[in-house]
């Protein structure tokens, strides 16, 4: 592989991190590491790495949960690491969306061979830089500056309001369930009142809609969740 790539490696075992980081660095990867399961999804969303390596034994959320969450929102190749007693779980991991599962302790040569095989299968080329600004109607959301504009005027949003709007605008036309929105904005270990979502939806509507009681952008799908109107739909309004 002669294209610069980025990998995110997550394990609570510093020895595993050291081995994987060494292997991937030798292969030309820029490697990001964390030992905290709760930081993985945030880092993956921010860095948009070309490869994610997850230790199944991460503390809550564990590697299997993170694999499932990442796969819901990204096609990035995922390699799972698990102990020899977790062979049954390896099948589950593949079903959850992992591209490869490796048994610990990790053999560097084998790991690189399997990772290279993944990239050959997907015909790896350096992906284009993700869009940093979303424009739908007279709304514009900047993912670099974390600012939102309506008709060129900046809106003042709280962090969770921005995160919620970003999640919805990133999937225009798609219905996102309440569970998906809570997972993506508040985290998969959120144990608070689910009505928090509805309150934040109301706050965002007040800031972006001309008539919050008759929303044009954020639509309620009863019994399921919410969706952000697509540009094509807006053009027909």
Q: Which domains does the chain possess?
A: 5-122 (3.40.50.2300), 133-236 (1.10.10.10)
* pLDDT reported for residue 189: 63
**pTM, rounded to two decimals:** 0.52
* C-beta neighbour count of 12 within 10 angstroms: 16
**pLDDT (average), residues 189-217:** 88
* pLDDT reported for residue 127: 47
Instruction: Copy the structure tokens of residue 33.
Output: 């590491």
What is the percentage of the chain residues whose pLDDT exceeds 70?
86
* pLDDT reported for residue 86: 52
* pLDDT reported for residue 187: 80
SS3 annotation, the chain: CCCCEEEEEECCCHHHHHHHHHHHHHCCEEEEEECCHHHHHHHHHHHCCCEEEEECCCCCCCHHHHHHHHHHHCCCCEEEEECHHHHHHHHHHHHHCCCEEEECCCCHHHHHHHHHHHHHHHCCCCCCCCCCEEEECCEEEECCCCEEEECCEEECCCHHHHHHHHHHHCCCCCEEEHHHHHHHHHCCCCCCCCHHHHHHHHHHHHHHCCCCCCCCCEEEECCCEEEECCHHHHHHC
pLDDT of 233 over the 70 cut: yes
Whether the bond between 105 and the residue before it is cis, its omega within 30 degrees of 0, is: yes
Instruction: Copy the structure tokens of residue 51.
Output: 């490869």
**pLDDT (average), residues 40-50:** 89
- Asked whether the beta carbons of 177 and 224 are under 8 A apart, the reply is yes
**Sheet strand arrangement including 218-221:** 175-177, 225-228, 218-221
State the distance between the two ends of the chain, measured CA to CA, in whole angstroms: 48
**pLDDT (average), residues 55-84:** 88
How many whole angstroms separate alpha carbon 225 and alpha carbon 178? 5
Single out the residue of 214, 215, 237, 217 nearest to residue 139, CA to CA: 217
* pLDDT reported for residue 46: 85
pLDDT of 47 over the 50 cut: yes
Of the pLDDT bands very low, low, confident and very high (cuts 50, 70, 90), residue 164 is: very high
The residues with which 8 forms a beta bridge, in sequence order, are 32, 52
Of the two residues 129 and 71, the one the predictor is more confident about is: 71
Q: What is the mean pLDDT of the chain?
A: 85
Region for residue 100 given its phi and psi (left: phi exceeds 0; alpha: psi -120 to 50; beta: otherwise): beta
Helix axes 87-96, 63-73, angle to 10 degrees: 20
């Amino acid at each position: 592989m002669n294209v610069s790539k980025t990998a995110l490696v997550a394990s609570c075992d510093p020895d595993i991190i050291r081995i994987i980081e060494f292997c991937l660095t030798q292969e030309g990867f820029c490697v990001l590491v964390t030992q905290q399961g709760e930081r993985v999804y945030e880092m993956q969303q921010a860095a948009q790495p070309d490869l994610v390596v997850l230790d199944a034994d991460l503390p809550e959320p564990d590697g299997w949960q993170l694999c499932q969450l990442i796969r819901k929102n990204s096609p990035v190749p995922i390699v799972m690491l698990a102990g020899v007693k977790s062979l049954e779980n390896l099948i589950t991991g593949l079903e959850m969306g992992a591209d490869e599962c490796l048994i610990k302790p990790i053999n560097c040569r084998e790991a690189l061979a399997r990772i290279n095989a993944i990239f050959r299968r997907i015909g790896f080329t350096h992906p284009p830089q993700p869009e940093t600004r979303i424009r739908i109607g007279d709304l514009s959301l900047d993912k670099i500056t974390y600012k939102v504009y309506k008709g060129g005027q900046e809106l003042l949003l709280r962090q969770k309001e921005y995160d919620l709007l970003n999640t919805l605008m990133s999937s225009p036309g798609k219905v996102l369930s309440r569970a998906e929105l809570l997972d993506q904005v508040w985290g998969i270990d959120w144990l608070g009142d689910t009505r928090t979502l509805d309150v934040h939806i109301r706050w965002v509507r007040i800031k972006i809609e001309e008539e919050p009681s008759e929303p044009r952008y954020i639509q309620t799908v009863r019994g399921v969740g919410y969706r952000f109107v697509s540009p094509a739909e807006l053009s027909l309004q």
